[in-house]
Amino acid sequence: MNQEHNPLQEFQTWFYEVEKSHEIGEVNAMLLTTIGEDACPKSRMVLLKRFTWEGFLFFTNYKSEKARAIAKNPRVSLHFNWKAADREIYIQGKAEKLPQSVSEAYFEQRPRGSQLGAWASEQGKIISSRKVLENNLKKLEEKFQEQIIPMPEHWGGYLVKPEAFDFIQYSSVGIRKTIRYQLEKDYSWCKHVRHGLDFFYIMK
């Protein structure tokens, strides 16, 4: 693949530049948007855990609202908003479940508290109080005391395979540069660059 037309390479460059040069708490925080079961878009923050040449990995409860939405419609979007760096990235693609072995390998690396949390949290269900969750966690701590905690069946990862990217760079004078990558039928990337005025900068 031509490196000049490789959005995954460009993402990696931007990600590490922002991580090293700017005080951003969680560079890997991203806004995941799915089409809900009611056919309306819904967004929530998740953490990017890894990116590869295939796409972007995150992990969640498979009983959660977002997982149910992905099961019905795998088309999703991701948004990285690095305001301190005057950069944004929008990604469109399709999400698919990771193989169980990949999810298990990641689960084994998680802190023990996070492993217990995967068992205790019933995402998508309404609980009467925080006390219920705390009691569930306490029971699990007793159950798995001095044992290796297995990955629950309802937990695992997704790979978002990208089909389009928008890399947006803002300048100090209100000029916005957008680099658009679109995946073609032959799996090559078509690149377009456009410039425009930042409306919000003008309104300051």
CA distances from 16 to 46, 53, 67, 85 (A): 19, 16, 29, 12
Long-range contacts of 180-188 (CB under 8 A, 24+ apart): 181/5, 181/7, 181/10, 188/1, 188/5
CATH number for the domain spanning 85: value is 2.30.110.10
Q: How many domains, in total, are found in the chain?
A: 1
CA trace torsion 22, 76, 6, 178 (10° rounding): -60
196 belongs to a structural domain: yes
pTM of the model: 0.87
Q: What is the pLDDT of residue 122?
A: 64
Q: What is the pLDDT of residue 119?
A: 87
DSSP letter, residue 54:
S
The whole-number average pLDDT for the span 185-203 is: 79
145 belongs to a structural domain: no
Tens of pLDDT, residue by residue over 82-120, are 998 999 999 999 999 999 999 999 999 999 989 988 888
Residue with tokens 């693609």: 93
Q: What is the pLDDT of residue 3?
A: 47
**Alpha-carbon distance 13 to 8, whole Å?**
9
